[in-house]
């Protein structure tokens, strides 16, 4: 069975500071990992994903995430936060060769203060 | 943003009404999904269709009835709903493969059951 955990319901950061949104996962085989963002009154929007290769994945809007197999983590990062980054962030996982249906985390609300 | 469309965007209905939610994807995908997103709860997968065949039904009450007439259209028929069914209903699509496929979400229908 596959699962994903986002340990923080909310992350607060000042504009211009680096941000990290945490995600850990559990799968039996090789993980495929995703980050999605949801702005108010909108659907989820794809940010980036890790399938294979370089552990550091770069995505939209300056976001990146680092796959860490030993720590089973896939934390989302950005060097300098913007107020417009304030949104709900979801981590998701599927398993290579397994179900194509992703399991989503509970979501983390990112609030960037001016 | 326009790859997956949902109508209506907002819906208010009484418990005795019958209504339908519509989703259309313009991405040539072969899998479509209904999710329920309630405040302070994880994203709930309701139904999955792959090549128009229902492959997942996550113990959803029978007052929700999905229909997938072709790989581009997905409906969710609603009847005798309860106030706790009030939520944001999200449609998504993807190209089913070996895993690692990105899901594309519509903007959602905000449903209020009175």
CB contact under 8 A, A46 and B48: no
For A65-104, the pLDDT digits (tens) are 999 999 999 999 999 999 999 999 999 999 877 778 889 9
CA A81-B37-A34 angle, 5° bins: 50
Residue B1: pLDDT above 60?
A: no
| A61 shares contact with chain B (CB less than 8 Å) | no
Task: Kindly report whether the peptide bond that precedes residue B8 is cis, defined as omega within 30 degrees of 0.
Answer: yes
Q: Are A89 and A78 in contact (CB under 8 A)?
A: no
Contacts of A96 in chain B (CB under 8 A): 98-100
pLDDT at B51: 77
pLDDT at A96: 77
| CA–CA min distance A19, chain B (Å) | 23
Which of A51, A96, A104 is nearest residue B43 as measured by Cβ atoms?
A: A104
**DSSP one-letter string for A11-28:** EEEETTS-EEE--EEE-S
For A4-45, the pLDDT digits (tens) are 999 999 999 999 999 999 999 999 888 999 999 999 888 999
pLDDT band, residue B27 (cuts 50/70/90) = very high
Residue B2: pLDDT above 80?
A: no
Q: If you average pLDDT over every residue of chain B, what do you get?
A: 91
| A41 shares contact with chain B (CB less than 8 Å) | yes
**For chains A and B, what is the number of CB pairs under 8 angstroms?**
60
The number of CA neighbours under 13 Å toward the Cβ of B89 is 29
A30 exposed, middle or buried (CB, 10 Å; 0-12, 13-18, 19+)? middle
pLDDT at B112: 96
With an 8 Å Cβ cutoff, the interface of chain B facing chain A consists of: 4, 6, 31, 33, 42-43, 45, 48, 56, 90, 92, 94, 96-108, 110
Higher pLDDT: B71 or A110? It is: A110
CB contact under 8 A, B107 and A44: no
For B52-108, the pLDDT digits (tens) are 777 777 789 999 999 999 989 999 999 999 999 999 999 999 988 766 789 999 999
């Amino acid at each position: 069975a596959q699962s994903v955990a986002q340990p923080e319901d909310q992350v607060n950061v000042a504009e211009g500071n680096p941000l990290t949104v945490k995600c850990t996962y559990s799968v039996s085989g090789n993980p495929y990992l995703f980050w999605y963002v949801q702005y108010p009154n909108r659907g989820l929007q794809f940010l980036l994903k890790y399938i294979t290769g370089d552990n550091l994945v770069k995505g939209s809007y300056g976001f990146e995430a680092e796959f860490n197999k030993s720590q089973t983590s896939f934390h989302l990062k950005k060097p300098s936060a913007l107020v417009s980054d304030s949104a709900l962030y979801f981590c998701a996982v599927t398993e290579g060769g397994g179900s194509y249906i992703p399991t989503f985390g509970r979501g983390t609300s990112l609030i960037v203060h001016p | 943003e326009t790859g997956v469309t949902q109508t209506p965007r907002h819906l208010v209905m009484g418990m005795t009404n019958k209504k339908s939610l519509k989703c259309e994807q313009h991405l040539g995908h072969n899998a479509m999904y209904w999710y329920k997103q309630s405040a302070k709860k994880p994203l709930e997968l309701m139904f999955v269709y792959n090549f128009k065949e229902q492959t997942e039904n996550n113990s959803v009450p029978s007052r929700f009835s999905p229909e997938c007439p072709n790989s581009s259209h997905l409906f969710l028929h609603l009847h005798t709903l309860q106030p706790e069914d009030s939520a944001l209903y999200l449609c998504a699509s993807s190209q089913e493969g070996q895993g690692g496929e990105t899901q594309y979400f519509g903007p959602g229908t905000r449903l209020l059951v009175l």
